[in-house]
Each structure stands twice: as structure tokens, then as C-alpha cells.
Structure 1
């Protein structure tokens, strides 16, 4: 009997359909049918381009879908304008025309990679819309104006149709997605902190924490879509950004508490009151239903009370306990506030100020890398020049189509470090779709009469691929399947089934993809470790600049950028080799140290002159260390001289009998010492030492 279970479970997994994915596919198909109907009725010259635009612009979530539509329309108009201005004026200098169009495309990709918001779709669409409009008419640019107008009309009809249909049939909101992501983050953060406080560190600890950082950064991207939600939202953009800031502080606070606990446990057994407090915090984290404001407030009060009971002047153990208790209290408060904001998203809809435009819209800062963006732009421009050079030298009649396809594909995957693997899957999906396209073109469509019957016969293929597009794990394969099927059929104002044309167009598509893969391997196969090192070097350089007392800093802005950069590193470290030296660079330790630098700079005016001078020495040492790390790109160990400076600063502050062990500057120095010198002997900090 047991042998029958696998056989009976297989059909259920095969025929288990998701209703939302089916609705998405049906919405896209209805939009495609309307687009084709309008295109045939208006006698647009390339209805296939309008049909392909429907599936290129369709997105499974309406909240994220609508702003991208607006940006894409703007990008189409921008690309069309550039084509009209450039092509006729340079028609007698094709080499210069190719260089200008390649430079324009590369510049747009540079802006798209640098932006990292939905606004990037404007630059991306401007890049490949100008490419697909211009390249097929480089040999004969006389009709470029008419052609450009036709392409704009076709794409606009498609974008408007898909926007209206998806908005009517699947007006899903981004708010539930944000709510679910925030709840999942809080649960993961609580679980990780509970394990860390129990000193049960796992081999994947760094990866888990970096994944949390990536989730925090993603919330800010989702918040951009809230003003475009069709349904009344129970979360405003301001509320989501406030939640994001709370979640961003949870990471360094929780890891700091775990770090202090590890250091204390290595020195001596925990005192009973502290051990009981840690156990109560772990029990509180294990029961989400008890994470209320009241219970969290009581735990935070206990933490602060235990920290204030330390001796004055304190010992090194007193400072460690004070640091552990204060960071635990701050973590608990941030966690409770985060849960409150997340739960508030499911309450009564709010009227956000962003809709009225009365306040300046806040944004969670994003870490942008001009070097990486410039590399992507240069690679795109160089690739286009190579495509066009091969096309012109070979005098291939379909070379213009190859260049257009290659430019479109290159622009679509320009944001990836190494697009070659994705392009390989793109090529595979294209090849397996050719038999289906041939079946439709030579066996089905010759027997079809009228646009309505053609739409009906295309329904099985379009609905199936549309369902694949709605599946996150398979969506990358849907675009090449749509592209191969639609372009190979070549919908015109009248039906033409020519085998030679079919093969030529197919070779143009495959040739464009292969050329793109070749160029990607030559110019874009950037090692993920190289990219991660570059981001870490930027992070170290910013800490060095922030440690300079004369420089300006914004604590929340820097923390947001550091968390965002940590999330970007996480995506790359997931595919880096396990023994890579980058795994030794704990981004959260650097994040904690940066926050310690901020705390010291804030506390400087509250201290006496000798303590200020000692803290300035510490900041100078930190600035020098991270400046060297940023220049060399290596996790250099902190020098012993910096340890001596930190100890002198701790002793100078402890010499003031009016200052408690919970003073922010003292806690920051303790955290800095634990982060930079985890194996150092205990500091001698009392006045008797």
C-alpha cells in the first residue's frame, strides 16, 4: 500500500493550479486580445510588436505594475524622440550613427543601474526602444519618422490596454505583501536572536543575517508603489519607511547583544540575575503572541535597571553587562515598535500625505555604485558597437533584426553582474518554443479566418505561457517564449507563411541571443566576489570618512545605506564559494562599528576636555584603519595602537565619577573594542588600575 503514495501524489502536484496565477494569465490574454483587435482595426504595421509589449510590461502585482507603466511610457517617448533627432541627421555617417546610438544606450543603462527604483524602467525602456526603432532602419532612414510614430502607437496601445485590464481584473495591493514580508522578517529576527543569545551559532549565521538585511532593503522598494495602489491602503509610505527604519536598527542591536553575551561568557559564568534576564528574553522571543507592548516594556525596564546597577567606577565586566543590557533593551523596543507598525498595516485604511503632496516624501537611502553602473553602461555600448560591426561587415540582410534583438536582450539583463547564465536559459527557452511557433504558422493559422478566430486559436499557447510568467521560479523563461512565438509568427496586416522568412527571423533571434551571450562572457562576466569586495570597500571608506570629526554625518541615512549595501552583498555572497575570504568580513560588525562612531561623535560635547581628546585619538585611529581597508580592499586587522587608544579613552571617561557605565560614549567604546579586538584581554578601566 505504501508504494502507491508516490504515484497518487504526482497527478495532484501536476494539476494543482494557483487561482491568482490563472487570473493573471487571463488578464494578460484579454489585454493581448484587445491590443490585437485595435492594432488590426487601426491597420498598425506591426501588431506583433504591440502584442509582445503586452507581455513584456505585464507584472503579477498591480501595485508594482502601475508605476512601471508610467515610467515605460515616458521611456518610449524619450527613446522615440532621440531616434527622430539622431537618425535623420546622421544617415550619411552610419559609423558615427552607430557610435552615437551605442553611447545613448549605454548612458541610459548607466542611469538604470544607478537608480535602483521603478524609475529605472524609464531609462531601460528609453534605451531599447530607441535601439529597436533605429537599428532596423540604419540602411534606409528616410522613413524613420513614420516608423517611430507607428512603434510608439503600437507600444502605447499595448501598455494602456494591459494597465486597464490588470487594474480592473486583479487590483491586488502591495500592502499585504509588505505586511507579510515585515511579519516574516520579525519572526526570522526573533528566531535568530533567540539562538544567538542561547549561543547556538549555526554555520550559516552570516548568511541568515545578510538575508535579513536584504529583506529590509526590499521593503523600501515596495514602499515606492504605495501611492499607486488602487485600493485604499492601510499603510502609508511614511508608515512603511518608519517600519523599515525600525527593522534596520534591529539587526545591529541584536547582533551587538549577542556579541557582548559571547564575550561575557568567555570571561566567567554569568551572574544569576543576568542569566535569568537572558533566559526571559529568549522565552519572550519564542512566543510571538506574547510580544506585546506591555511585556516588551517590562523586559526593557528590567534590562535598563540591571545596567544602572553597575559599579561606579565600573570594571570591564560591568561595562560588558551594561552594554549587553542596554543593547537588549533597545532591541526589544525596536522589535515591539516594528510589530506595532506591522500590525497597524492591517487596520483601517489611512489617507497618506504622499497623495496630497503636502510633505516632502521621505525615502530609505539606497547605496549606489557609480563604478558598477558605469561598467554596465560601457559593456552595453560596446556590445552594440560589436553587433553592428559584424552586421555591416557580413552584409547580412537580417543583421538589423539581430542587432535590435541583441540590444533589447542586453538592456533587459544589464543590471546583473553576470548575465551569461540567465541568457543561456533564455536561449534554451527560445529554442524549445520554435516548434510551437512553426506549428502555429504552418498548420494552424492558414486555416484561420479573421482576427477573432486567430485570437481564439492563440489562447492555449498564450494562457499557458502567461501562467508560467506568473510563477516566480519560471518567469525568466516566459519572456523568451513569448518573444520567439510572437516574433516568429510575424503578425502583419495580412497573413504570410513563408518558410525562408521564418528561418531567417529565427536565426536572427538565436543569433542575437548567442551574440549577447558571447559579449556578456567577454565584458560582463564580473565575478560576484569582485562586486562584493567593491561594495565592502565603499562601506569601509564611508566609515573612515564618518570617523573624521570635521565631516558631516546623518545617522539614519548612513544606517539605511549600510543595511542596503549589506543586503546587496548578501545576494552575491549566496553564490560565492564558502572558503572565500569575504565570508570573514562580517558586514554587521562594520555596521555596529559605524553606529559606535556615530554615538561617539554625538557624545563628544557632553564630555570633559581630557575625555574629548582621548575620543578624538580613537576616531583618528578608526579613520586610518578603515581608510587602509578601503584602499587595499582587504580586511586588515586593527593595530594594537588602536586598542591602546580605546583603553585610554575608556579609562578617561570612567575617571569622571559623575558618568554612569551606561553613558553612550562608554557603551560605544565597549562595542568598538569587542568588534575590533574580540580576543583581547579584559581592559583595565577602574580608577585604581
Structure 2
């Protein structure tokens, strides 16, 4: 392309620039210029490290940015303290020093993977900073204290500069993202439920509903950032958590209604009144959000009215109709309430009442934490660091310390992923593509630069362009290796020195660290995806077993939130499992419905007579034994016939008692259990059927 053609196309490309991304890139560049100026003026030994810290720390969202700043500062101080305590005391035993630093790094990664909140950045930064401070000085640890102080100064200057500049320019808030995600979730949930009630289930149904579970879990992670927003947020954290609780109930309620409809359709054609109600619900779901909010309460009342018209004692078909109508009513009410909360979130900023909201700040959407997965990530990180250092020491490579430092940076950055090898491959590709740009700057541009201001002007095109890439979610993973390659290769010492041998050696250290990290990831982490998904399903089965034990304590909302979060995590693993994998046979959504049925039965126990309580306890004991066996063997074993007999006996006891209507929560929960555990069983004999 000629220069004239490029000049003609420039205005058009400028029109395509995103102002928010450009603002973020400009903010990071100003922070980088300030950081570099302070580093030069204070004669810090490695200004390039301060400059790299600016771009490692920067985040596009204000809400996500500020808590990470605080935690990273704490992580830097923690890592520096560990380096000062460990390195001088073990300087005469490098092998033991490497093992200790690897163990410390593995412990930090274990805590980071287990935490799953912005607090995880404290542990990641503690692991990374101690590795970067310690490894380059294992051969000569006498100056470790001075080196540690210098690294802390460089990183602190960078973090404070980024915090101040981004605070003044105010990057965009996290609230609009939460609002948009909530509206998107409701639209997806309405579309999926409309298709399910229309009996047009498709092979993509599982993927769609599991994506909804992942969206709910992601809202919780966003809600954590709200107290740190720099602008007055349009939503309080309590509002987002209330929205999450409502959204978490939509999935099991919608799927339960679809399940009852499938069962009813398999028995006989639907009654005209019920068929009209289902069609009206589907039509309501196709309406805009405003019409849904206006007509939802009336439609839910129709569902409850039809459920109450069943005869007493009810037949099996009556119980199915009552279950379908009640679950549909609860779904509609949850959908309407979720829409109201989302609309409130998108309106004017909510003024928090400090007296009323202060206790709510300690509450959060429950997260499912997997100690086994965290231990595996920590062990893989520690093993990788030991292997890096072993190769470096055995080969006596002069730049081996840099390789170990880069490898520690990359390992800590991607330790939370199940299989980081694909991402690391793109990381390597971005690094190799940036080397020509780094060489151009080092050998053709910088020799002609004189003074700090000229240096900043010269670096502006490259740093602004890569910063714009960093603000793009689909390309942000490539920005860090580009910054790392460019900044580390240029050096940015107090005096310019362009040495080709040093440039090649540093480049080989970076590439070697990435390749070594990919090799270790393929060796230790490639089989982790299915293993992790199965572990999560087993944890869910074990929790259901514990919750079904009549003597155990339970928290209904807490378990539902954790189960939805776990279902969202499993959704990501389902995407990489092959179609015939046994993982797809385990329906996490059916387990979620079953767990809510267990909660309903346990909540209704005190309101029932002693004979009915005895039959329900047998059902709970059977559920507990079944899921305990599933969790122990890791296989979705079929429910025994004895459990079906206990469920039928409990339903018959409630129906014959005469005081419990067909819409009694315990009776509807038993209907749900029977449909979920024994979908192919013959209709039960209750009430008039008995």
C-alpha cells in the first residue's frame, strides 16, 4: 500500500476507533510517561520494570481496576518480605533455596485459585514478585536487600501512577456491564424457556442453559467490584446480589416446568385450559420486557388458580398439572422481579443507606471452591519452577535467571486456567511478532533520540497501539506479551546501549521461558479439564447427600447459589468434552432441581404430622445414600427401586392426610423428585388412583 493510499484510509480508520478504548490506552500511556520520568529522575536501576508494571496492572474497568491495585500492592510487599527472609538465609544452599521459593509460589497459586475473587491478585502478585526478585540473584544473593527495595520502589511508583491517572480520567464503570449482562440473561432465559415449553428441544439446549448458569456466576464476580467504582455506581452491591438470587432461581424453575410438561405430554394430550395457559406463557415470553413486567403478575395468578382447581385427593396427572402450574408461576414471578431489579439498576444511581446497607456488604454470592483443583494448580506451578531452575543451573546459562523469571511470570499469570497451553501458544505468537518492532526501535529509532521528552514522543505510537489492543476483550491476552517483549528488549536504562548480542540473549530468555511453560503445561495440565468437571459434579452430589441427611444443617439460598456457580463452571468444561463423553450424561441442572426439592421437603417437615414425617425421612435417607454413593464412585448411578417406593408412599401419605392441598410444597417436591430420578417409571397410584 502506498503512502497516499494509507493517508487516504487514515480518517476512515480513525472513525472506527472506540473512544472508551482510546481513553484507556491514553490513560495508560500518560501513567507510563509519568512512571518513566520518575524512574529516570530517581535513578531507579531498572526503569523498564516499572514501565512494564504499568501495563501489567492497568485494567479497562474502574471497578475491576481499583481493588486489583490495592491487592497487588499488598502482594508486592508480601513477596518482597519473603524474599528478604528466605534468600540470605539459604544463599549457601541454592537447591534448597529453589525448593523453598517453588513451595512458596505453589502455596500462593493454591490460594489464588481457591479464592476466585479480586483478592486472588494479592496471592498471584506475591508469588510473582518473590520469584522475580529472587531468581536473578540466586548466584549472588548478597545484594538481595538492595535489589528488593529497588523492585518494590519501581513497582510501587508504577502502581501509584496508574491509580492516579486512571482515577482522574475515570475509565468506564462496571455497572453498565452488569446491567447489560442481566438484560441479556433475561432475554436468553425467555428464549430458552419459550422453546422448552413449546416442546422444541434442540441438541443445543444443554449448552444454552449452562451458558445461563455461567452468566449468573459472572455477575457475582462483577458485583465484587462495585464498592471500588470511581463513579457513583448505578447499582449497590446488595441490588446486584438480590438480582443474582432471583436469576439463580429462574434456571431450575424453568427447567422444572419444561420437565413436567414433557411428562404430561407423554401421558395424554393436554387439557384445553392447560394448553391455552402454556401458549399464553410462551406468548408472554416473546413480548418486550415492559409488557412482561405489566402482565406477569396476572399470568402468575392464572397459573396458581389452575393449580388449585385439582381434585382432592389428587391423581398423578393432577399432581403433574399442579407442579407445572406452580413452577410456571414461580418462574414468571422470578422473571418479573429480575426485570424490575435490572431496570432499577439501569436507572438513576442508587443512594446507599449506610446504616441499612452496612451489614449487606459482608454478604456475597456463594462461590463453589475446589481444594483439589487448587492443590493441582499449586503443585504444577511449583514443579514447573523447579524444572526451570534445574535446567538453568545444569546448563550454567548466563541468562537462565531471566528465563526463570519470565517463566514464573507466565506460570503465575495463567495458573488459574485448566489448560493454559492454548493461551500460552498465542502468547508465544504475539511475542515473536513483536520482536521485529523491538529491533526496529532499539537499533533504528532510539540511537537518534535525545532526551526524555523525545523518548516519550517516539514511544507513543507503539504504546498507544498496544494499549488499544489491551482494551479489546478479544485481543487483550495478546497485549501483555507484546508489552513484555518490547519493553524488556529496549531495556530503558539510564544510559542507552544497543547491543545485538544482549538483545538476542534476552529474546531467547523470553522465548525459552514461554516454551518451557508450554511444555510443563502440556505435561501437567492437559488432562485437567474433564477431571475438574467430574470433580465439580462429585462435589455437588456430596453436598446433596449431606443436605438430605435429616440431622444436618442447611442454608437454602447459599446452597442454590453455590450449585448454580458450580453449574456455570462445569459449562465451560462441557464445551471441550467430546459429544459421547460420559460427562454430558450428568445433568447438573437436574441435580440443582433435586437439591431444591430436598430443601422444600426439609423446610416443610415441621408442618406435617408424625406419620408423614416418618415417610419423608425415609425419602431423604434414600436420597442421601444415593448421592453419597454417586459422590464416592464418581458415576451417575441409577436410583434404586426402593427409593421410588418410598417416594410413592410419602406422596400417598400426604394425599390421604386430607389437610394438604395438591400445591403443598412437600408434595410438589416429591413430584419433582419422582420425575427427575424416575422419568420412565409408570404413573404412581395416589388419591383416587390408589
TM over 0.5: yes
Residue 299 in structure 1 maps to residue 294 in structure 2:
no
Deviations 1:647-681 (A, max 9, x none): 11111111111110001110000000001111111
* Secondary structure, aligned partner of 2:680: coil
State the partner residue of 1:389.
Answer: 390
State the partner residue of 1:5.
Answer: none
Alignment of 1:364-403 (within 5 A): 364-403=365-404
State the partner residue of 1:323.
Answer: 323
Deviations 1:250-293 (A, max 9, x none): 11001101110111111111111111111111111110244454
Contact 1:63 1:173 in 2 (8 A): yes
Deviations 1:385-405 (A, max 9, x none): 111111111111111111111
Inter-CA distance 288–404: structure 2 relative to 1 (3 Å threshold): same
TM-superposed CA distance for 1:604, in Å, is: 1.1
Aligned residues: 682
State the partner residue of 1:333.
Answer: 333
Task: Tell which deviates more after alignment, 577-586 or 299-308.
Answer: 577-586
* Secondary structure, aligned partner of 2:233: coil
TM-superposed CA distance for 1:96, in Å, is: 1.2
* Secondary structure, aligned partner of 1:393: helix
State the partner residue of 1:576.
Answer: 577
Contact 1:214 1:564 in 2 (8 A): yes
State the partner residue of 1:32.
Answer: 32
Contact 2:21 2:468 in 1 (8 A): yes
Measured in 2, the distance between the counterparts of 1:27 and 1:268 equals 65
Measured in 1, the distance between the counterparts of 2:249 and 2:595 equals 12
Alignment of 1:180-259 (within 5 A): 180-259=180-259
Alignment of 1:519-558 (within 5 A): 519-558=520-559
Deviations 1:15-59 (A, max 9, x none): 732221111111111111111111111111101001101111111
TM-superposed CA distance for 1:358, in Å, is: 3.3
Contact 1:113 1:415 in 2 (8 A): yes
Measured in 2, the distance between the counterparts of 1:241 and 1:323 equals 28
Contact 1:55 1:479 in 2 (8 A): yes
Deviations 1:449-483 (A, max 9, x none): 01111111111111111111111111111111110
State the partner residue of 2:344.
Answer: 344
State the partner residue of 1:486.
Answer: 487
Inter-CA distance 380–355: structure 2 relative to 1 (3 Å threshold): farther
TM-superposed CA distance for 1:527, in Å, is: 3.6
Inter-CA distance 583–138: structure 2 relative to 1 (3 Å threshold): same
Contact 2:48 2:488 in 1 (8 A): yes
Measured in 1, the distance between the counterparts of 2:92 and 2:605 equals 67
Q: Which runs of 5+ in 2 are unaligned?
A: 1-7
State the partner residue of 2:278.
Answer: 278
Task: Tell which deviates more after alignment, 519-528 or 396-405.
Answer: 519-528
Measured in 2, the distance between the counterparts of 1:356 and 1:248 equals 24
TM-superposed CA distance for 1:14, in Å, is: 10
Deviations 1:554-584 (A, max 9, x none): 0000000000000000111112212212112
Contact 2:60 2:171 in 1 (8 A): no
TM-superposed CA distance for 1:352, in Å, is: 2.7
Measured in 1, the distance between the counterparts of 2:181 and 2:168 equals 25
TM-superposed CA distance for 1:607, in Å, is: 1.4
Measured in 2, the distance between the counterparts of 1:568 and 1:354 equals 34
Deviations 1:99-142 (A, max 9, x none): 11111100000000000000000000000000000110111111
Contact 2:285 2:292 in 1 (8 A): no
State the partner residue of 2:3.
Answer: none
Measured in 2, the distance between the counterparts of 1:123 and 1:232 equals 29
Inter-CA distance 290–29: structure 2 relative to 1 (3 Å threshold): closer
* Secondary structure, aligned partner of 2:407: helix
State the partner residue of 2:132.
Answer: 132
State the partner residue of 2:518.
Answer: 517
Contact 2:170 2:230 in 1 (8 A): no
TM-superposed CA distance for 1:207, in Å, is: 0.6
Inter-CA distance 14–541: structure 2 relative to 1 (3 Å threshold): farther
Q: Which runs of 5+ in 1 are unaligned?
A: 1-7
State the partner residue of 1:434.
Answer: 435
State the partner residue of 1:619.
Answer: 620
Residue 561 in structure 1 maps to residue 562 in structure 2:
yes
Inter-CA distance 347–75: structure 2 relative to 1 (3 Å threshold): same
Measured in 1, the distance between the counterparts of 2:635 and 2:307 equals 37
Measured in 1, the distance between the counterparts of 2:681 and 2:494 equals 79
State the partner residue of 1:17.
Answer: 17
TM-superposed CA distance for 1:82, in Å, is: 0.8
* Secondary structure, aligned partner of 1:233: coil
Alignment of 1:580-595 (within 5 A): 580-595=581-596
Inter-CA distance 461–9: structure 2 relative to 1 (3 Å threshold): closer
Measured in 1, the distance between the counterparts of 2:419 and 2:171 equals 35
State the partner residue of 1:3.
Answer: none
Contact 1:651 1:687 in 2 (8 A): no
Alignment of 1:89-168 (within 5 A): 89-168=89-168
* Secondary structure, aligned partner of 1:345: helix
TM-superposed CA distance for 1:351, in Å, is: 2.9
TM-superposed CA distance for 1:354, in Å, is: 6.6
Inter-CA distance 455–12: structure 2 relative to 1 (3 Å threshold): closer
What is the aligned-residue RMSD (CA, Å)?
A: 1.7
Inter-CA distance 319–631: structure 2 relative to 1 (3 Å threshold): same
Contact 2:238 2:357 in 1 (8 A): no
TM-superposed CA distance for 1:11, in Å, is: 11
Residue 636 in structure 1 maps to residue 637 in structure 2:
yes
Contact 2:35 2:157 in 1 (8 A): yes
Contact 2:315 2:688 in 1 (8 A): no
Measured in 1, the distance between the counterparts of 2:686 and 2:31 equals 72
Which ranges of 4 or more aligned residues in structure 1 deviate by more than 6 Å? 8-15, 354-357
Measured in 2, the distance between the counterparts of 1:13 and 1:639 equals 66
Measured in 1, the distance between the counterparts of 2:407 and 2:356 equals 43
Residue 669 in structure 1 maps to residue 674 in structure 2:
no
Measured in 1, the distance between the counterparts of 2:165 and 2:11 equals 33
Measured in 1, the distance between the counterparts of 2:262 and 2:682 equals 14
TM-superposed CA distance for 1:170, in Å, is: 3.4
State the partner residue of 2:59.
Answer: 59
State the partner residue of 2:4.
Answer: none
Contact 1:23 1:170 in 2 (8 A): no
Measured in 2, the distance between the counterparts of 1:175 and 1:445 equals 43
Inter-CA distance 280–500: structure 2 relative to 1 (3 Å threshold): same
Measured in 2, the distance between the counterparts of 1:56 and 1:17 equals 23
* Secondary structure, aligned partner of 1:614: helix
Contact 1:420 1:517 in 2 (8 A): yes
Measured in 2, the distance between the counterparts of 1:9 and 1:508 equals 39
Inter-CA distance 158–673: structure 2 relative to 1 (3 Å threshold): same
Measured in 2, the distance between the counterparts of 1:22 and 1:357 equals 36
